[in-house]
């Protein structure tokens, strides 16, 4: 007798989940919060400059925040970046930046000088150290309110001497979904290039041009954010989001040597597309920050 092979079920016929370089990853449906994919989703890892998503969220969560408020750049912010060898927006001492400009400087070139300026401005205290410490306290309070139970911040920018600045892919996806709610932050983190004229200490004008370090933007169809991060302990990290039609996914890659392809492959799997196989990353101009 000839055997008859049963037809494959829809589940069996579905494409296999992609193999990722990341040590930790997560993807969820932004509208429902439903988990679509997880890899070591609740393992705590350092998150490098993806920390700055929370920095921006805390600033924008400040009651009555004035995005046009002017902040004078302190030499201390430049000294900090130099001492840490950190990514920078190259903010010049004495220049007057608006809060909106500082948020772009934070999120596009991943400026640790901008992070310091924002923490110093929106923290409460009589000294710079007290203000930045209190601001980090605000970051932790916001994480708790979002249910990020496996997250701790000890830094306003992701640079952590003690290594006590960590999160998980699942927690960072929660943060990403929250960040997508506000139109201001959503607009900033989807911007690939931003030009910021500032008044200098002598009354002149200096114009800054910043490029978004997130190369998924402009490379993957539908990509709308969110933030890169790279550190010795953290490895390459990426919080990402994409919208196609009425479907938005937010995801996280922690310590992924091929983070952009990891993100594209995950998104492809759930969008039913093959963009990753032909994706060419948007190139950053020479001299632009990498993160």
Express each pLDDT in 82-97 by its tens digit: 999 999 999 999 999 9
Look at residue 117 in the predicted model and tell me its pLDDT. Answer: 98
Look at residue 180 in the predicted model and tell me its pLDDT. Answer: 95
CB of 81 closer than 8 Å to CB of 157: no
Look at residue 7 in the predicted model and tell me its pLDDT. Answer: 45
62-74 burial by CB neighbour count: b if 16+ within 10 A, else e?
eeeeeeeeebebb
Nearest Cα neighbor of 54 from 126, 144, 130, 125 is 144
Percent of the chain, pLDDT > 90? Answer: 94
Look at residue 4 in the predicted model and tell me its pLDDT. Answer: 46
Nearest Cα neighbor of 139 from 159, 165, 121 is 165
Q: Which residues contact 119 (CB under 8 A, 6 or more apart)?
A: 55, 131, 132, 135, 136, 156
Q: What tokens does 277 get? A: 């196989």
Express each pLDDT in 126-146 by its tens digit: 999 999 999 999 999 999 999
What does the mean pLDDT of the chain come to? 95
Between CA 86 and CA 101 the distance in angstroms is: 19
pTM: 0.94
Question: Pick the residue with more confidence: 11 or 108?
Answer: 108
First and final CA of the chain: distance in angstroms? Answer: 64
Split at pLDDT 50, 70, 90, the class of 10 is: very low
For 140-246, list the strands marked E by DSSP: 166-167, 193-199, 205-211, 223-231, 235-244
Between CA 170 and CA 27 the distance in angstroms is: 8
Express each pLDDT in 178-196 by its tens digit: 999 999 999 999 999 999 9
200, pLDDT greater than 60: yes
CA geometry: angle at 53 spanning 52 and 55, to 5°? 55
Look at residue 254 in the predicted model and tell me its pLDDT. Answer: 98
Of the candidate ranges 6-20, 44-58, 75-89, 125-139, the one whose mean pLDDT is the lowest: 6-20
Percent of the chain, pLDDT > 70? Answer: 95
CB count within 10 Å of CB 19 equals 7
Q: Which active-site residues does the annotation give? A: 49, 52, 110
Express each pLDDT in 224-265 by its tens digit: 999 999 999 999 999 999 999 999 999 999 999 999 999 999
Split at pLDDT 50, 70, 90, the class of 14 is: low
CB of 237 closer than 8 Å to CB of 253: yes
15, pLDDT greater than 80: no
């Amino acid at each position: 007798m000839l055997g008859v092979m049963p037809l494959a079920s829809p589940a069996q016929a579905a494409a296999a989940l992609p193999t990722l370089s990341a040590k930790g990853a997560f993807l969820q449906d932004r509208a429902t919060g439903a988990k679509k994919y997880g890899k070591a989703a609740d393992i705590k890892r350092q998150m490098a400059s993806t920390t700055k998503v929370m920095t921006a969220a805390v600033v924008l969560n400040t009651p009555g925040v004035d995005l046009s408020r002017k902040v004078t750049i302190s030499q201390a912010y430049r000294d900090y970046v130099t001492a840490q060898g950190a990514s920078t927006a190259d903010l010049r001492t004495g220049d007057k930046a608006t809060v909106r400009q500082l948020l772009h400087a934070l999120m596009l070139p991943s400026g640790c000088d901008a992070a310091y300026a924002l923490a110093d401005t929106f923290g409460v205290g009589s000294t710079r150290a007290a203000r930045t410490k209190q601001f980090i306290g605000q970051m932790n309070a916001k994480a708790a309110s979002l249910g990020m139970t496996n997250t701790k911040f000890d830094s306003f920018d992701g640079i952590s001497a003690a290594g006590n600045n960590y999160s998980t892919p699942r927690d960072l996806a929660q943060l990403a979904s929250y960040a997508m709610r506000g139109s201001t932050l959503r607009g900033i983190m989807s911007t690939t290039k931003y030009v910021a004229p500032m008044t200098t200490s002598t009354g002149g004008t200096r114009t800054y041009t910043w490029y978004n370090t997130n190369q998924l933007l402009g490379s993957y169809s539908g990509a709308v954010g969110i933030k890169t991060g790279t550190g010795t302990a953290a490895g390459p990290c990426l919080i990402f989001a994409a919208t196609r039609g009425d479907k938005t996914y937010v995801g996280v890659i922690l310590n992924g040597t091929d983070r952009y392809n990891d993100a594209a492959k995950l998104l492809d799997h759930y969008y039913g597309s093959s963009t990753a196989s032909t994706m060419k990353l948007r190139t950053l101009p020479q001299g632009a920050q990498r993160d």
